[in-house]
Amino acid sequence: MARFAADVPTRGGFSFDLCQRNEMLLKKGNQLPTFRKTGTTIVGLVFEDGVILGADTRATEGPIVADKNCEKIHYMAPNIYCCGAGTAADTEAVTDMVSSQLQLHRYATGRESRVITALTLLKSHLFSYQGHVSAALVLGGVDITGPHLHTVYPHGSTDTLPFATMGSGSLAAMAIFESKFREGLTRDEGIKLVSEAICSGIFNDLGSGSNVDVCVITRGQTEYLRNHQLPNPRTYVSSRGYNFLKGHTEVLSTKITPLKSSKVEAAAEVDEMEE
Amino acid sequence: MSIFEYNGSALVAMVGKNCFAIASDRRLGVNLQTVATDFQRIFKIHDKLYIGLSGLATDAQTMYQRLVFRHKLYQLREERDMKPQTFASLVSALLYEKRFGPYFCQPVIAGLGDDDVPFICTMDCLGAKELAKDFVVSGTASESLYGACESMYKPNMESEELFETISQALLSSVDRDCLSGWGGHVLLVTPTEVQERTLKGRMD
């Protein structure tokens, strides 16, 4: 029973207690399952007033599309956003964790978060797990020192760049950037270029697909354009659809349990305070 | 064979108009031998929140016990039931804790939130959440289920039509999968009642 008490919420961090059992299963010939990955095309660029981030919206599990419209641009701080590629659980967990750490830091310092802070927190976490936390990120934001764009690799190395692409579609997107990027783009030109780069990834890379998400960060304002472009609409739907009449399915047994309505709460039990 | 194919499973959840349905198959196998035909994969957390666990059956049962434990602690501290979104975050955190030695199960969570808005989500075995507005699938029959649900699903179905649709999607998909089937178990939850039905399917 003392072991059961260890189930109470621990201090956090990873727990390795099933590793031995999983090793044994592997040796017996059972393959490990495929994790959900974000095949992905993610991009970022610096324009005249700030930073624009872009991402596709397909999540894959092996060759199957698990989610046709997932969100790959994660919130870090009001002025900092991060696109994630790699194992979906890792990108979500690491960005959530650093976002919480940044929030606590903001409370402690009373200042707006800086992009370099987020970068250092991410790179030190990823390095300490030696690449096993498989998250490749494009981090961008605007703080008191200006606009910043960084890429973070799963092993913990980082680059600071005026334009960046990551993920399986990075080559397709980088081709667009290398031919059309210049310093000092306007907001509309920047959004158009980012959308073009993501579309290039969507149509040419099999691991990326569906829609284009764009996030524009400037000093004092962030605009998250979810599903900015929908270049892959579902046009083959039959207008009739399937109509299954009641009683179509053979049922062996039915059990109906009424639920008591939660709104009918007796409020009449309050005792008045008496002097 | 993959560890996920050891026991075999099929799970699907769909959203309707102010209601949701969650359905599973009933087979428990050991590789290609069937050991039970009444195995329960969908578990109740509270009146309006259900979780289905596909994958390795022993991990599914362990996960369920841990989740019920955590939910009971939550109820004692907060004096209320957990919202579905909160519960999904809890499941995700418990799975990610075991990132380098994971539980081999993929949960499907379905619940009615505040104002009886239906909520469904699924995760891979590491806890990567996928929130969907229409349907979520999991298990060895998941590829067939994706296809069946894509074509049969319509938005804003009433509870009777939703029941028929989810049953047909489940039965037709498990018929194309050797490792799942032997009937079906469908739970349909509306703000006023819970309908639990057992389906007759092919027993092969």
- Give the pLDDT band of residue A26 (cuts 50, 70, 90): confident
Preferred mutation among A17, A68, A244, A250 to probe B, highest tally of B CBs within 10 A: A244
Kindly identify which residue of chain B lies nearest to residue A251, measuring between CA atoms.
B199
The DSSP secondary-structure symbol of B50 reads E
- Phi, psi dihedrals of residue B35, rounded to the nearest 5°: -110, -30
- pLDDT for A238 beyond 80: no
- pLDDT for A226 beyond 60: yes
| Of B4, B98, B200, Cβ closest to residue A250 | B200
Q: Among A74, A182, A77, A189, which Cα is nearest to A137's?
A: A74
**pLDDT on residue A267:** 52
**Residues A106-155 pLDDT 10s:** 999 999 999 999 999 999 999 999 999 999 999 999 999 999 999 999 99
Residues of B in contact with A15 (CB under 8 A): 97-98
Cβ separation A254–B197 shorter than 8 A: yes
The answer to whether A45 touches A177, Cβ cutoff 8 Å, is yes
**pLDDT on residue A63:** 82
Preferred mutation among B96, B150, B152 to probe A, highest tally of A CBs within 10 A: B96
- Give the pLDDT band of residue A37 (cuts 50, 70, 90): low
Q: Is any Cβ of chain A less than 8 angstroms from the Cβ of B144?
A: no
**pLDDT on residue A7:** 57
In chain A, what percentage of residues exceed pLDDT 90?
64
Residues of A in contact with B124 (CB under 8 A): 33, 35-36, 61, 66, 88-89
**pLDDT on residue A260:** 80
Residues of A taking part in catalysis: 40
The DSSP secondary-structure symbol of B98 reads T
Residues of A in contact with B193 (CB under 8 A): 256-259
- pLDDT for A265 beyond 60: no
- pLDDT for A1 beyond 50: no
**pLDDT on residue B29:** 92
**pLDDT on residue A33:** 73
Q: Is any Cβ of chain B less than 8 angstroms from the Cβ of A265?
A: no
Cβ separation A254–B191 shorter than 8 A: no
Q: Compute CA distances B113 → A53, A173, B90, whole Å.
A: 32, 40, 16
Residues of A in contact with B66 (CB under 8 A): 7
Tokens of A54: 């872009």
Cβ separation A19–B101 shorter than 8 A: yes
- Give the pLDDT band of residue A5 (cuts 50, 70, 90): very low
Q: How far apart are CA A32 and CA B1, in angstroms?
A: 10
Spans of chain B below 70 pLDDT: none
Cβ separation B192–A25 shorter than 8 A: no
**Residues A241-255 pLDDT 10s:** 788 888 888 999 999
Cβ separation A14–B97 shorter than 8 A: yes
Mean pLDDT of chain A: 88
Q: Considering only residues 67 to 86 of chain A, which have any Cβ-Cβ distance to chain B shorter than 8 Å?
A: 67, 70
**pLDDT on residue A271:** 65
Q: Which residue has the higher pLDDT, A217 or A243?
A: A217
- Phi, psi dihedrals of residue B61, rounded to the nearest 5°: -70, -40
- Give the pLDDT band of residue A190 (cuts 50, 70, 90): very high
**pLDDT on residue A123:** 96
